[in-house]
Structure 1
Amino acid sequence: MGAFDQGRYQVRLDWGLAGLERLAPADVYVIVDVLRFSSSVAAAVTDGGTVSVDAARSSSINGAPLAAAAAALPHAPLVLAGSLRNASAVARAIKAEQERRSARTSVAIVPAGERGAGDAVRFAVEDQLGAGAIVDALVPLGIDHSSPEAVVAAESFAGLRRAVKHLLTASASGLELAEVGRVDEVRAAAAIDDLDAVPVLRDGVFTAL
């Protein structure tokens, strides 16, 4: 185990493609891109729709490529899309996968952040909160052997839960979307656990688990 792969923990967290590659191989990967990829995919599959990850690349430079990278890992993990809107549903799906496997199931939470110049990843408030909401929802299910990185995200969500809507609309990503008339999408993405659907990526397509 390396110092940065978090392999000694059941629940791990790191940012972007570099973080995904840095983490020890996990049984389940949860891609978190709250504004807007994960939230919109969860809404789409709730209504019975499907989302091709390749088609989504044209509008998502953060979440969609991460999901594709996770799906391409040689050990063929389960790849889910998580957000504030379906955090508890994702946690329940992870618990169900552990029960199905009848074995301790490792989880890699990968907040996307925002890609900038040279593919550097900018910290994104919304993805920190979304990732933290999922880690927080895993705790009462007994999946709580979490890395410090995952614990910090969970505690940030727990402490700021009541301020989530304000934080998202006031964040850099939220303001950017508001400037192009998409503030309603930001407000929708700030809803906590209003969706029960869990998007799972199989054969390049997200469908409801």
Structure 2
Amino acid sequence: MRAAQASTSSAPEPTPFDQRSYQVRLDWGVDGLARLAPADVVVVVDVLRFSTTVTRRLEHSADAVSLDADADAMSTNGAPLARAAEASGAVVLLGGVRNATSVARACLAIQHERAARTSVAVIPAGELTGREPGATLRFAVEDLLGAGAVVAALSALGTDHTSPDAAAACEAYVGLGRAVAHLLTASGSGLELAERGLGDEVRAAAAIDATDVVPVLRGGAFVAR
């Protein structure tokens, strides 16, 4: 019910950047989410490592992963974005390379449940350059590829009315998908995590469609949909 309200109640004035005419939309971070027209479903993509960490914990039988209870699993990028998406009234999913096809199937299942055309905003989190007020958002190749994987999976299932932004991310993933493991391990975030002894998490994040677990945010915690 919340998802239906997201696209019908107190909608902001249209802008050239809100992508409202497209079913599948894409923009970066909390500011990008605010730029887009309200969507029924928001897919948060923070590949290294919020999306992957939460998904893997649910894979390994965790009942739920709270946004607040476990700081190590959380992210200065993905967690605030998930909270903002939840506040918008959308259904909030976590996606990435590891579960892209399952996320796309979940979006279609939500559309079936709603019995109405369902808009999907795919939001790569990017990386903040610092934690202080005014920190800028850095492009993160791992999140571009993760978002592109989700858009490509949606398109493969027939949800292909994508904005130019979403289409560009999709083609980046389609063109580079065979190299995704190398690209993630060689990325700045991948190298940083490897230096911290978390190289296994980077490799897990690059495993294409390795799981059917789709985290959905309910009441401040992610559970498996």
Task: State the TM bucket, normalised to the shorter chain.
Answer: over 0.9
For the pair 1:109 / 2:125, whether they are aligned, the reply is: no
Offset of residue 56 of structure 1: 4.7
Q: How many residues align?
A: 207
**CA shift in 2, pair 1:119/1:57, >3 Å:** farther
Look up the match of 2:177: 161
Offset of residue 55 of structure 1: 2.8
1:63 pairs with 70, 73, 78, which one?
78
Matches within 5 A, 1:62-101: 62-73=77-88, 76-101=89-114
For the pair 1:134 / 2:147, whether they are aligned, the reply is: no
* TM superposition score normalised by structure 2: 0.89
1:41 pairs with 38, 48, 54, which one?
54
**RMSD after superposition:** 1.1
Look up the match of 1:52: 66
2:217 pairs with 182, 201, 205, which one?
201
User: Percent identity over the alignment?
Assistant: 62
Question: Matches of 1:122 and 1:150 in 2, distance apart?
Answer: 18
1:144 pairs with 154, 160, 170, which one?
160
**CA shift in 2, pair 1:158/1:180, >3 Å:** same
Question: Matches of 2:34 and 2:196 in 1, distance apart?
Answer: 33
The list of structure 1 runs, each at least 4 consecutive aligned residues, that deviate by more than 3 angstroms after superposition, is 56-59
Question: Matches of 1:163 and 1:15 in 2, distance apart?
Answer: 23
Q: Which amino acid aligns with 2:146?
A: G
Q: Unpaired segments of 5 or more residues in structure 2?
A: 1-13
Bigger Cα displacement from structure 2, 26-35 vs 181-190: 181-190
SS of match in other structure, 1:12: strand
Q: Unpaired segments of 5 or more residues in structure 1?
A: none
Offset of residue 101 of structure 1: 0.9
Offset of residue 72 of structure 1: 1.2
Question: Matches of 1:55 and 1:148 in 2, distance apart?
Answer: 38
Offset of residue 40 of structure 1: 1.1
